[in-house]
Structure 1
C-alpha cells in the first residue's frame, strides 16, 4: 500500500497521533480514579497507537521531503518501531476487552508472550525489506498486511463487544466504532489491491483519514459513556448489596436481628387478625466455641451454614427464619395452638439440629437449647415477646443443656435485675471497686503456711463489702468473666511484685479462671506477657479451674493443660466431686492438685463409716497414687482436721485455720511464716552443733 501524497499522509498521521495521545491521558486519569484494569490496557493502547502514528508521520514527512532515502537504516528503524507499536497496541486492546468480559486480566506470562510475538512479527516485515530493499512490492505488502491485520482485529473486537457486552449505549457505540474502523481498514486493503501499483489516491487517503478520526472519536465517547454506565451499575449493585446486608446475615443469608425486629409487628398483627397463635422459638447452640476450636473458624462457619439450611428446610415452613447472633437462631410459626404440639415441634426441631453432621470426614455432634415465647399468651408486643423468648432460652441453657423451655411468669426477674446491675458492675470495673482477699492454705499435719488463694470481693460504695455470690453470676451473664479474670491475675501479680520489692519472700497465690478464659486461645500468650511484665516466675501464680471446665471439651482441655505444664504453671482442679467427670479422667489430666469440695468435708463427721468418708479417703489415695496433692476446702472444726490428717490429706483450707484476709494481714502472715521457719532452722542447727 503506497500513498501518493506524502504531505497529506503526514497531516493525517499527526492529527491521529494528537487524538490518540490525548485520549490515552484521559483514560489514564480514569484508571487512577476508578482502578479498572481495562482502562490501563486501553490507555497504553492509545499511547502506543499514538506513538505509532508519530513514527508514521515522521516516515511520511522524511520521504516526502527527501530527508531520508527509502533504503536507509534510520527509515527502516522508524518503520520497525511503527509496526511494533501498532501490533502491541492491538494486543492491548484485546487484553482490555478480555478483562471486561472475564473480569480478570490475562496472566502476565501470556501477555508477555503476545508482546514478544507482536515485536517478532514486526521484525519479520522489517527484515524482509532489508533483504530486498529495491522491491516496491515488499513495502506495499508490509503496509497492506498491517492494515489487514488491524482491520480484522478491530472488526473482531467490535463484534465481541456487540454480542458479549452490556446492552447499553456505551458498548454499542464502541462496537459500531470498532466495526467501522475494521471495515475501513479492510476496504483500504481492497482498494489498494485493485489500484495500479497498490497506490491509494489523494481523495481516498483524505477520506480514510477523516473516517479514522471520526470513528476513533466515537469509540472514545463510547468508552467514556461505558465507563460511567459501568460505575453507575457498580454503585447500584453496591447499594443493593449494602441494603441486603442491612437486613440479612452475611454468612448464612438469613434475615438478621434488625430485619426480624421490623418484621415481628407485622407477624403479630397477621396472627391477631386471623386469630392465630404466634410462636417464637429461639435456638441456641451449646458449646459452639469448642466446635470453632476443633474445626477452625471456617469449619465453624460451615457448621452455622448447615444449621441455617436445616432450619430453612423445616416442614411446615416457618413464617420467618433469622440468625440474631453468633450461634443463636430464631424461627416463627402460627399454625399451632396447643402447648403440647408446640413443645413437640420444638423437640423435633431440636432433634433435627442435633443430627450428626459430617465435616471433612469428621462427625460433628451439636447440642442446642430452645426457648419459646407465644403471642398472645406471653405478650402482644414484638420487643417484649422477643425478650421473653431470649429469657426462656437462657433458662433452658442454665437448667438443662438440651431442654425446651417455655417462658413463664417470673423468669424475667433475674433478667431485669441483670439489666439493673450492668451499669453498677461496669462502674465497679472502671473505678477499681473490686478488691482481693487472700485465704491461706496450710499443710495438714504441721499447719505451716504453704500458699494463698485469691478471692475477689466488691467494695460497693453504698452496700459495703459484697461476697462473690452477689455479683459473679451477673458478671458471667454479661460475658465479662474474662475481663474480671484479667483484673484478678494482674492484681495478684502486682501484689507478688510489691512484696518482693519490700524484701518479702513469697509463696504461690492461686487464682480461679472461668470456662471462657480457659478455652480462650489467647490465654497462654496473655500469661506469658503478665509474668514478663511483673518479672515473676511461672511458679508464683497457680491456676484453679473446676472439673466441668476441664471436661467440657476434654481434648481441648488436655491441650491447654499441657501447654501450662510446659511453661511450669501449676494447675489445680477446684471443687472436685461436684461436676460430671469420673475418677478415670483424673489419670489423664496433667494437673498438680485436686481440691475436694467443701460439701464432702462438711459431711465427714456425721458417721464414721458413711459414704462421704469412703469417697474422700478413696479420692486422697487415688490422687496420691497418681502423684497429685490433695487440698481439702472448708475445714471448720478440729475434728475435721484430725480426720483429714488421718487420711493423709496434704493441705487444708478453711475458717478453722484462717478466714480470707486483706493484703496487709496476708503480708504479716507471710512474714511470720518465714520468721518461724528461720527460728526452726536455727534451732535445728544448735541441736546439730556439739
Structure 2
C-alpha cells in the first residue's frame, strides 16, 4: 500500500469533514421541515442531533485545514477544539437516543431523562478535554483520541441501532434508519481496530476516507427517514380507511355492530335458519328512562352505562348470534335456537336480570330497568326491516309501564302503533291551543267536617268529540313521552288558580296535582318548582304533589331523593293509589311523604269484603303511627263514609260529596264555605311535617 503524505491526508480529511458538515446541516434543516409538517417528535430530536454533528465536523475540518497552512500554530489549540468537537458529538448521540425512544414508544421521554442525556454529554466532553493530547489531525494521533471518538460513539450507535431494529415496525424506512445507525457503529469499531492493530500507512488511508463512508451511510439514513415518513402516511391513510369501514358497520362507543351491519346480517341468519329448520329470534333491549340516567350521572356516565350494557350482552351465558346497538339506548341481540315460546320468555327474563344488576359508575352505583321487545322468524316476517319494526313495536309496548316488561309481537300491535303515531301531532296541538282544562274535586276533613282542599283532574275539551276523560288520552300521552310537558301545563294552571284565589278570597285551599313518573325521577323538578313559586308568588303548602305508589317503588334512590328535597321546601307529598303495590307496608316507613291516599278499589269492596276492612284498618293505624294522614278516594255511599270514619280515616273524596267540577263551580263552592265562616285549615291540621 503506497505511503500517504501528511498534506494529502489533511486535504482529504478537510474535504471529508466539510462535506459531512454541510450534509448534516442540510439534513438537519430537512428534518426540522418534516417535523413541522408531520409533527413527529423523533424528527425534532434527530434534527438537533444533525445540528450538533455539523459543528463537530466543521471544527475538525477547520483543524485539518489550518494544519495545512500553519501546523505549529494549530497544534497549540487543537486539543481544546477537539474536546469541543467531541462534546458536540456526544450531544448528538444523546439527541439520537432521545429520538429513538420517541419513535419506539410514540411518546416524548420524561424531562429528567433529557437532562441526564445532556449532563452525560457535557461530562464526557470535559473528560475528553483533559484526556486528549494536542494534535493537528487524527492521522498518527494517540489511541486516546480514537477511544474517545470512535469507541464511545460506536458503542452508543450500535445499541441505538439494535434497539430500533427490535422495537420499530417491519417497514423498509425504519430498517434503513436503524441499519444506518448500526452501520456507523460497526464502522467506528473497525476504524478503532485499524488504529490499534494496522501499520501507520494503512491507518492513514482508512482514517482519511472513513468520513466519506460516514457521508454515504448518512445519505442512506436520509433516504430511510423519507421512506419511513411516506410509509407512515400510507399506514395512517390505510388505518383511516379501515376505521371508516369499521365505523360504517360498528358502533363507535360500544364497539358492537350498528344497525346497518345488523340489517345486512339478518338475511344470512334467516337463510341459515331456513336451511337447518331453526327459528330466528330478534330481541330489542331498551333502557327505561335513560334520559334520567344521563341527567343524574352526566353524559360520560351514561356512556359508561351503555358500554357496560354492551359488555354484558356480549358475555351473556347464552351466546347470541350478534349484538348490535341500533339507537341511543336500544340494543338488538339475535338467537337461532329458540322455538318454544316459554323458552324465549325465560331467556328474555334472564337477560333482564343480567342487565338489572347494579352498575358501578365512578363512585356511584345505579340500577337500570330494561324492556324487551321480541320478533321471530318465520312467524313475524322474513326480511330484516320487517323483523326490526315488529320488535320495535313490541319494545314500545314493553316500555309503557313504569316497570318495563317483556313483550312478544302480536297481531294488531301495528294498528295501535300507527294510531299512536297519528295521535302525537293531535295531542301537541291540543296542548299548544289550550284544549285541556282542569276540573277540581273537593276533599273534606272528617274531624272538622269542612273543605280542606281540591284535587286537580285534567280533561280534554276535544273540538270534535267533546269533553274526554283522562282514560281516553293519558295512555297516549305517556307512550309518546309527553307526560312531563302535560305535567308542566297542569302545574302552571294550578299555580295560576291559587294566585287568583289569593287575590279574590284573601287565602287559598290547597290543590293536589298528580305528577307522572318522569317528573319525580330527576332533580330538574326541584328547580322547576322553585321557579313556579317565584313566578306565581305562592306558598309551597298550597300545592300538594301526588305520585302513585308503583312509581315511588320503581326508583327508590333517585325518586326519594327528589321527594325529600321537595318536602324540605315545604311542599306536601302524597302517595296515590296506596295499597295496590306489592310492597306497600314494607316501604311505607322510608317514604318521605305526609299523606297517603287509599285506592278506590279498597273503598268499593269495603262492605262486601271483611279482609279489605282489616287491611284498611292496619294501613290507617300504621300511617298514623308514622305521622302520616290518610285520605280515602272513591267514596260513593254514606255507608262507605261511616265505615271509613270508624276505621280512623282523616279525609275523604268522592262522588258522595261532589264530582269533579269546573273552576267557576269550585269558586262558588268556596264562597259557600266562606259564607259558612269556614276558612282553610292551617297547614299543620292537614299536613304533618
Shorter-chain TM-score: which interval?
A: 0.7 to 0.9
- From 574, 592, 595, the equivalent of 1:593 is 595
Question: Are the equivalent residues in 2 in contact too, given 1:284–1:370 (CA < 8 A)?
Answer: yes
Residues 1:21 and 2:36 aligned together:
no
Residues 1:513 and 2:498 aligned together:
no
Cα deviation for residue 185 of structure 1 reads 3.6
- Cα distance in 1 between the residues matched to 2:611 and 2:216: 104
- Cα distance in 1 between the residues matched to 2:511 and 2:142: 96
- What secondary structure, in the 3-state scheme, does the structure 2 residue paired with 1:573 have? strand
The 5 Å alignment of 1:667-682 reads none
- From 109, 113, 118, the equivalent of 2:112 is 109
Q: Report the equivalent of 1:155.
A: 158
Question: Are the equivalent residues in 2 in contact too, given 1:347–1:404 (CA < 8 A)?
Answer: no
Q: Report the equivalent of 2:265.
A: 263
Question: Are the equivalent residues in 1 in contact too, given 2:41–2:99 (CA < 8 A)?
Answer: yes
CA RMSD of aligned residues (A): 5.0
Cα deviation for residue 415 of structure 1 reads 1.8
Q: Deviations over 1:274-312 (max 9, x none)?
A: 383533241547869699989x7587457524532444x
Question: Are the equivalent residues in 1 in contact too, given 2:10–2:65 (CA < 8 A)?
Answer: no
- Cα distance in 1 between the residues matched to 2:121 and 2:23: 22
- From 159, 175, 179, the equivalent of 1:176 is 179
The 5 Å alignment of 1:128-143 reads 128=131, 141=144
Cα deviation for residue 550 of structure 1 reads 1.8
- From 220, 225, 228, the equivalent of 2:227 is 225
Question: Are the equivalent residues in 2 in contact too, given 1:18–1:50 (CA < 8 A)?
Answer: yes
CA 1:518–1:184: 2 relative to 1, 3 Å? same
- Cα distance in 1 between the residues matched to 2:176 and 2:470: 77
Q: Report the equivalent of 1:622.
A: 622
Q: Report the equivalent of 1:344.
A: 343
The 5 Å alignment of 1:113-512 reads 113-126=116-129, 128=131, 141=144, 144-193=147-196, 207-250=209-252, 253-272=255-274, 274=275, 276=277, 278-282=279-283, 284=285, 300=305, 304-305=309-310, 307-311=312-316, 313-314=317-318, 319-324=321-326, 329-334=331-336, 341-344=340-343, 346-348=345-347, 350-351=349-350, 354=353, 371-395=373-397, 406-426=408-428, 431=432, 433=434, 435=436, 437=438, 439=440, 442-445=443-446, 446=448, 450-458=452-460, 466-485=468-487, 488-489=490-491, 509-512=511-514
Cα deviation for residue 336 of structure 1 reads 6.3
Q: Deviations over 1:252-280 (max 9, x none)?
A: 644333222222234335555x3835332
CA 1:136–1:209: 2 relative to 1, 3 Å? closer
- Cα distance in 2 between the residues matched to 1:504 and 1:51: 96
CA 1:146–1:493: 2 relative to 1, 3 Å? farther
Q: Report the equivalent of 1:684.
A: none
Q: Report the equivalent of 2:4.
A: none
CA 1:522–1:124: 2 relative to 1, 3 Å? farther
Q: Report the equivalent of 2:19.
A: 12
Question: Are the equivalent residues in 2 in contact too, given 1:346–1:370 (CA < 8 A)?
Answer: no
CA 1:613–1:191: 2 relative to 1, 3 Å? same
Residues 1:577 and 2:579 aligned together:
yes
CA 1:334–1:643: 2 relative to 1, 3 Å? closer
Cα deviation for residue 594 of structure 1 reads 1.0
Q: Deviations over 1:85-117 (max 9, x none)?
A: 433332332233233333344333333333333
CA 1:377–1:82: 2 relative to 1, 3 Å? same
- Cα distance in 1 between the residues matched to 2:115 and 2:500: 68
Q: Deviations over 1:482-525 (max 9, x none)?
A: 45445555666677678889996556554433334433365556
CA 1:242–1:513: 2 relative to 1, 3 Å? farther
- What secondary structure, in the 3-state scheme, does the structure 1 residue paired with 2:185 have? helix
Q: Report the equivalent of 1:687.
A: none
Residues 1:92 and 2:91 aligned together:
no
Q: What number of residue pairs does the alignment pair up?
A: 660
- Cα distance in 2 between the residues matched to 1:344 and 1:679: 63
Question: Are the equivalent residues in 1 in contact too, given 2:283–2:333 (CA < 8 A)?
Answer: yes
- Cα distance in 2 between the residues matched to 1:435 and 1:554: 31
- Structure 1: give runs of 5+ residues left out of the alignment: 682-690
- Cα distance in 2 between the residues matched to 1:601 and 1:486: 31
Q: TM-score, normalised by structure 1?
A: 0.77
Q: Deviations over 1:364-418 (max 9, x none)?
A: 9998765543333333333223322343455566689797654332233322222
- From 546, 549, 557, the equivalent of 1:547 is 549
- Cα distance in 1 between the residues matched to 2:562 and 2:148: 74
- Cα distance in 1 between the residues matched to 2:215 and 2:500: 85
CA 1:64–1:258: 2 relative to 1, 3 Å? same
- Cα distance in 1 between the residues matched to 2:422 and 2:247: 33
Question: Are the equivalent residues in 1 in contact too, given 2:251–2:325 (CA < 8 A)?
Answer: yes
- Cα distance in 1 between the residues matched to 2:435 and 2:50: 72
- Cα distance in 2 between the residues matched to 1:675 and 1:64: 128
- Cα distance in 2 between the residues matched to 1:197 and 1:668: 127
- Cα distance in 2 between the residues matched to 1:569 and 1:63: 100
Residues 1:41 and 2:48 aligned together:
no
CA 1:86–1:654: 2 relative to 1, 3 Å? farther
Q: TM-score, normalised by structure 2?
A: 0.77
- Structure 2: give runs of 5+ residues left out of the alignment: 1-6, 682-689
- Cα distance in 2 between the residues matched to 1:196 and 1:536: 109
Q: Which moved more, 1:179-188 or 1:54-63?
A: 54-63
